[in-house]
Amino acid sequence: MNKEFGVHSEVGKLRKVIVHRPDLSLKRLTPSNHDDLLFDDVLWVERAQWEHDQFVKAMCDRDIEVFYHVNLLGEAL
């Protein structure tokens, strides 16, 4: 079994994580379509981005290696 990638414990230390920063696509959410897009409510994009950045900073401060989805996608293509 390849133990290089994947989750092998529900309680072990998080060492690496892939994240996707909320982007302007969330601005397409409206009160009339958020249910169709499986969201509970319309999001405040700027606040979501700030919270995401703070969460990433907290993970980095704990020596968790953070990979951004967009960068990995660019490398793969």
| Whole-number pLDDT of residue 1 | 45
| Domain residue limits, the chain | 16-76
Q: What is d(CA 15, CA 61) in angstroms, rounded to the nearest whole number?
A: 12
70: closest CA among 31, 1, 33, 21?
21
pLDDT of residue 7: 83
The pLDDT, as a whole number, for residue 4 is 67
Give the pTM: 0.74
Structure confidence at residue 76 (pLDDT) = 87
The per-residue pLDDT string of the chain (77 residues; one tens digit each, 9 = 90 and over) reads 445 667 888 898 999 999 999 887 787 777 887 777 667 777 788 899 999 999 999 999 999 999 999 899 888 88
